[in-house]
């Protein structure tokens, strides 16, 4: 089985383009632009389609594309949280195995692929570094499930894309503060030592960076 | 659910740190319990998770080792024979303890192993890691907790009834964030016995993010 699998080079443009297709209710025209059945034009984030293919048809080629894209990012994330390269490699593999095993829980109207995989990687970090489980909020009582709404799905994925762009567009210092808060690689007081900024200032700068993110989302 | 009635929410730093996975277990527990009751904070958490996803997406990458994909494929092949694992669900709701708490109590309110703390007040420490403490408190209706101050941070979430102190009125779902400088005398509302989840953090975690260690609610 493994030998039959075509290994895609990382960042294969075809794979990225494939991630832009949303099945069934829309068709791709060009450059990742999507025409919905209602005729509106839309662009969505990559990897949604691959993750849905993993979920719905256990599509291994799609899984490999997800692996090629997210594996190295999850590994880098885990290394920044304090794992050495060998442990981060092992954990990143386990995170991707979880992506496969828990794909049935992925809901594209509630999280982008990056967000969903981030939460799995974060839980792995807590499990391994803190040897703790993480209490999760009670699931919402959704009631009888309506068919997932394509408009919701695309709205959510577009917002995620916007958020990514907004984060990339932040001034470098602000972006680094947010990254450090998520990686946990520096406590705020260590940031203070390094930057010479008092804690209150750092907290308000993080808040400012988040505000700016929110503003750019509008 | 109770979003319309909840007035006292979790501070942003806590929601963000919960999303980042930077809190100790007891604090995670109170955050998860509040979110179970509060749609506003659930939505805010969703956006912090999305920021986490964007951070994951924009950060640099570290190449996986050469045999990485082969090992992962081998793992998914060996595990995929079974049907998708069923999520283990915690006991049915009793309308008081949200799911994350039922998980720690191993049941509903009647499974709580209370210990007396005097004046009719009871408490039960929940089994979390030692770097912070989570306890359930039972305060008879109308009872005042003697004036006490804190050495640091204490979070108190109301599950049943209500209490009032210098900071305001706290009903089901409300969280009080009491810091070092708050001297307060919480009084349980007369209408009903009050049940709360109280969490105090230890000095090692939270450094920077939040003030330091807190005394337990009743100063035990």
Cα separation, A124 vs A97, in Å, equals 12
Cα separation, A92 vs A78, in Å, equals 8
**Greatest mean pLDDT among A18-22, A213-217, B121-125:** B121-125
Residues A94-108, mean pLDDT to the nearest whole number: 92
Residue B213 falls within a domain, yes or no? no
Does residue B205 contact residue B23 with C-beta atoms inside 8 Å? yes
Cα separation, A136 vs A127, in Å, equals 13
Residue B153: is its pLDDT beyond 60? yes
**Residues in chain B closer than 8 A to A178 (CB atoms):** 51, 55
Nearest to A73 among B59, B207, B209 (CB): B59
Residue B191 falls within a domain, yes or no? yes
**Greatest mean pLDDT among A71-85, A140-154, A202-216, B192-206:** A71-85
- Give B144 to chain A, closest Cα distance, Å: 31
Residues B115-134, mean pLDDT to the nearest whole number: 87
Q: Output the CA–CA distances (angstroms, integers) from residue B179 to A187, B188, B211, B212, in the order listed.
A: 20, 20, 7, 9
Nearest to B68 among A71, A167, A179 (CB): A71
- The pLDDT, as a whole number, for residue A204 is 64
Residue linked to tokens 């210098």: B166
Q: What values do phi and psi take at B78, rounded to 5?
A: -70, -30
**Residues in chain A closer than 8 A to B209 (CB atoms):** 187-188
**Residues in chain A closer than 8 A to B96 (CB atoms):** none
Does residue A168 contact residue A123 with C-beta atoms inside 8 Å? no
Residues A113-125, mean pLDDT to the nearest whole number: 93
Go through the domains of chain A in sequence order and give each one's CATH number.
1-132+150-169 (1.10.1740.10), 171-218 (1.10.10.10)
Structural domain tally of chain B? 1
Q: What is the pLDDT of residues B17-26, one digit of tens each?
A: 899 988 889 9
- The pLDDT, as a whole number, for residue A163 is 79
**Residues in chain B closer than 8 A to A64 (CB atoms):** 69, 73
**CB burial of residue A6 (10 Å; 0-12, 13-18, 19+):** exposed
- Give B37 to chain A, closest Cα distance, Å: 8
Nearest to A115 among B53, B61, B69 (CB): B53
**Greatest mean pLDDT among A5-14, B179-188, B204-213:** B179-188
Q: Is the dihedral of CA B38, A164, A68, A58 positive or negative?
A: positive
Residue B175 DSSP symbol: E
B73–A1 CB contact, under 8 Å: yes
- The pLDDT, as a whole number, for residue A154 is 78
Q: Which chain B residue's Cα is nearest to A117?
A: B53
Q: What is the pLDDT of residues A24-77, one digit of tens each?
A: 334 444 444 444 444 444 445 578 889 999 999 999 999 999 999 999 999 999
Confidence of residue B208 (pLDDT cuts 50, 70, 90): very low
Residue predicted with more confidence, A20 or A194: A194
B51–A139 CB contact, under 8 Å: no
Nearest to A160 among B24, B53, B76 (CB): B53
Confidence of residue A173 (pLDDT cuts 50, 70, 90): confident
Residue B132: is its pLDDT beyond 80? yes
Residue A16: is its pLDDT beyond 50? no
Q: Which chain B residue's Cα is nearest to A157?
A: B50
Share above pLDDT 70 across residues of chain B, in percent, rounded to a whole number: 77
Cα separation, B27 vs B19, in Å, equals 12
Nearest to B53 among A112, A123, A140 (CB): A112
**Residues in chain B closer than 8 A to A46 (CB atoms):** none
Mean pLDDT over the full length of chain B:
80
Residues A148-166, mean pLDDT to the nearest whole number: 77
Residues B58-70, mean pLDDT to the nearest whole number: 89
Count of C-beta atoms within a 10 Å radius of residue A65:
26
Residue B81 falls within a domain, yes or no? no
Residue A145: is its pLDDT beyond 90? no
| Structural tokens at position B65 | 């080792």
Residue B195 falls within a domain, yes or no? yes
Confidence of residue A20 (pLDDT cuts 50, 70, 90): very low
| Structural tokens at position A173 | 């210092």
A and B: number of Cβ contacts within 8 A: 204
- Least confident residue range of A189-198, B124-133, B160-169: A189-198
B32–A135 CB contact, under 8 Å: yes
- The pLDDT, as a whole number, for residue A42 is 45
Residue B217: is its pLDDT beyond 70? no
Residue B193 falls within a domain, yes or no? yes
**Residues in chain B closer than 8 A to A152 (CB atoms):** none
**Residues in chain A closer than 8 A to B32 (CB atoms):** 134-137
Cα separation, A186 vs A58, in Å, equals 39
Note the pTM of the prediction, 2 decimals. 0.78
Looking at residue B119, which CATH number applies to its domain? 2.60.120.10
- Least confident residue range of A41-55, A167-181, B142-156: B142-156
Confidence of residue A198 (pLDDT cuts 50, 70, 90): low
Confidence of residue A143 (pLDDT cuts 50, 70, 90): low
Give a three-class secondary structure readout of chain A.
CCCCCCCCCCCCHHHHHHHCCCCCCEEECCCCCEEECCCCEECCCCCHHHHHHHHHHCCHHHHHHHHHHHHHHHHHHHHHCCCCHHHHHHHHHHHHHHHHHCHHHCCCCCCCHHHHHHHHHHHHHHHHHCCCCCCCCCCCCCCCCCCCCHHHHHHHHHHHHHHHHHHHHCCHHHHHHHHHHHHCCCCHHHHHHHHCCCHHHHHHHHHHHHHHHHHHHC
Q: Which chain B residue's Cα is nearest to A90?
A: B68
- Least confident residue range of A154-158, A196-200, B83-87, B214-218: B214-218
Mutation pick from B65, B72, B130 vs chain A, by most beta carbons of A within 10 Å, is B72
**Residues in chain B closer than 8 A to A117 (CB atoms):** 53, 56
B19–A122 CB contact, under 8 Å: yes
Element (H, E) at B157: strand B154-160
**Domain extent at residue B42:** 12-56+91-201
Residue B50: is its pLDDT beyond 50? yes
A73–B61 CB contact, under 8 Å: yes
Confidence of residue B151 (pLDDT cuts 50, 70, 90): low
Q: Complex ipTM above 0.90?
A: no
């Amino acid at each position: 089985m493994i030998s039959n699998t075509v290994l895609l080079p990382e960042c294969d443009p075809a794979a990225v383009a494939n991630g832009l297709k949303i099945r069934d209710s829309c068709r791709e025209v060009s450059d990742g632009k999507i025409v919905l059945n209602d005729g509106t034009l839309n662009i969505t984030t990559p990897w949604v389609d691959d993750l849905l293919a993993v979920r719905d048809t256990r599509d291994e080629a799609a899984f490999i594309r997800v692996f090629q894209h997210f594996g190295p990012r999850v590994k880098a994330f885990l290394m920044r949280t304090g794992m050495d390269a060998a442990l981060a490699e092992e954990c990143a593999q386990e995170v991707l195995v979880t992506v496969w095993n828990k794909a049935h829980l992925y809901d594209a109207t509630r999280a982008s692929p990056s967000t969903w995989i981030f939460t799995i990687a974060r839980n792995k970090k807590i499990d391994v570094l803190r040897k703790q489980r993480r209490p999760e909020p009670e699931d919402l009582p959704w009631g009888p499930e309506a068919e997932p709404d394509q408009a919701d799905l695309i709205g959510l994925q577009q917002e995620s894309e916007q958020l990514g762009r907004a984060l990339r567009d932040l001034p470098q210092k602000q972006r680094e503060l947010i990254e450090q808060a998520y990686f946990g690689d520096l406590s705020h007081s260590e940031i203070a030592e390094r930057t010479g900024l008092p804690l209150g200032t750092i907290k308000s700068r993080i808040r400012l960076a988040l505000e700016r993110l929110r503003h750019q989302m509008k | 659910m109770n979003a319309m009635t909840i007035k006292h929410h979790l501070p942003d730093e806590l929601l963000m740190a919960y999303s980042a996975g930077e809190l100790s277990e007891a604090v995670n527990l109170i955050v998860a319990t509040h979110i179970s009751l509060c749609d506003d904070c659930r939505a805010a958490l969703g956006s912090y998770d999305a920021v986490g996803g964007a951070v994951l997406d924009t950060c640099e990458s570290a190449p996986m080792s050469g045999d990485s994909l082969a090992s992962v494929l081998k793992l998914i092949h060996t595990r995929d024979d079974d049907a998708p694992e069923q999520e283990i669900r915690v006991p049915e709701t009793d309308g008081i303890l949200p799911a994350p708490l039922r998980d720690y109590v191993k049941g509903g309110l009647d499974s709580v192993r209370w210990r007396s703390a005097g004046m009719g007040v009871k408490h039960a420490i929940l089994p979390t890691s030692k770097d912070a403490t989570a306890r359930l408190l039972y305060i008879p209706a109308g009872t005042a907790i003697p004036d006490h101050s804190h050495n640091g941070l204490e979070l108190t979430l109301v599950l049943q009834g209500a209490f009032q102190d210098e900071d305001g009125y706290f009903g089901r779902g409300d969280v009080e964030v009491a810091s070092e400088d708050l001297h307060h005398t919480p009084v349980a509302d007369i209408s009903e016995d009050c049940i709360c989840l109280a969490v105090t953090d230890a000095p090692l975690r939270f450094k920077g993010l939040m003030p330091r260690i807190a005394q337990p609610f009743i100063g035990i």
